[in-house]
Structure 1
Amino acid sequence: MPPSPPTIIDDSFQIYDLRVEVICPPGERILCGAKPGDYFTLEGEMLYLPPGQGFSIYSLGAILPLLSGKQRAQQANDWMTTDAEVACPDPHCKSRLRIVRTGTRTFRHGEVTAVPLPGTNLVSTDTSKE
């Protein structure tokens, strides 16, 4: 008996693009070299800074562990749905980093990994082009 043909499935998933912005109470000093309004964007897995703007590696280190969680949908009662501000890692600095979801982006499992979906003999398809 010949092998069965692969099953064609839609292996797409969506994640949020993010904008992370420096905010600070008026009159307070920012100790990491940033200015209120400095930001970076996360588009899929790519992090982008505006031309000529830097970002503290210590601030980046404080926020990076949260970004992949913020990119994904959560259950309604999950704290990640409501908590959007992260304190500066310097305990003497009053600034915060605000995480804002800016849109969604679609990925396909077969395009971002060589590992097949478990228990399947599946072929990825882009159903949006049919």
Structure 2
Amino acid sequence: MSSTPPEQKDAFTLYDLKVSAICPEGKQQICGAKPGDHFILQGELLYLPPGQGFSIYSLAAVLPLLAAKQRENHRNDWIESDALVACPDPNCKSVLKIERVGRRTFSHAETTHVGLDGNHEDIPGS
């Protein structure tokens, strides 16, 4: 997270996300998920609670949606309302729930070497 003031010209905000396993009671979880399993996404960093794992296949199913969920989209866009992702194993009944749990401000200059004008600052002639 950056301490960039929101009024700074290159500032932008992203939502922090919590992705939780929702496990139907009495159903076997093929993916290894347990009720309460989750991870937090803050910017580009993913955090798991100590001692908890997360299926790479479940992660692969939800990963393509996370960057869009971190951003504010048009209110009519489906990404604003839809928050459940099925486990990729068709025999598993668990789902992953994506929740917005906070916001962070970042600085463009602190996240890339490409200038706001699209020029690469460290490549001669770009």
- Coarse TM-score class (shorter-chain normalised): 0.7 to 0.9
Is 1:91 the equivalent of 2:90?
yes
SS at match of 1:97: strand
Aligned length: 112
Larger Rg: 1
Q: What's the offset of the Cα at 1:107?
A: 0.5
Aligned counterparts of 2:118 and 2:50: Cα–Cα separation in 1: 45
Taking a change above 3 Å as real, the CA distance of residues 60 and 119 of structure 1, as seen in their structure-2 partners, is closer
Task: Kindly provide the CA deviation profile for residues 55-114 of structure 1, in whole angstroms up to 9, marking residues without a partner as x.
Answer: 001001111111011000000100001000000000111100000000000011111111
Kept in 1, the 8 Å contact 2:23–2:33? The answer is: no
Q: What's the offset of the Cα at 1:34?
A: 1.3
Give the TM-score taking structure 2 as reference length: 0.85
Give the TM-score taking structure 1 as reference length: 0.82
Aligned counterparts of 1:101 and 1:16: Cα–Cα separation in 2: 6
SS at match of 1:110: helix
Aligned counterparts of 2:58 and 2:97: Cα–Cα separation in 1: 12
Aligned counterparts of 1:32 and 1:26: Cα–Cα separation in 2: 15
Aligned counterparts of 1:119 and 1:92: Cα–Cα separation in 2: 46
Q: What's the offset of the Cα at 1:119?
A: 7.2
The one-letter code matched in structure 2 to 1:71 is: Q
CA root-mean-square deviation: 1.4
Q: What's the offset of the Cα at 1:52?
A: 0.4
Q: Runs of at least 4 residues of structure 1 off by over 4 A?
A: none
Is 1:66 the equivalent of 2:65?
yes
The one-letter code matched in structure 1 to 2:68 is: G
Question: What is residue 99 of structure 2 aligned with on the other side?
Answer: 100
Is 1:43 the equivalent of 2:53?
no
Where does structure 2 lack aligned partners over 5 or more consecutive residues?
1-7, 120-126
The one-letter code matched in structure 2 to 1:75 is: H
The one-letter code matched in structure 2 to 1:54 is: G
SS at match of 1:52: coil
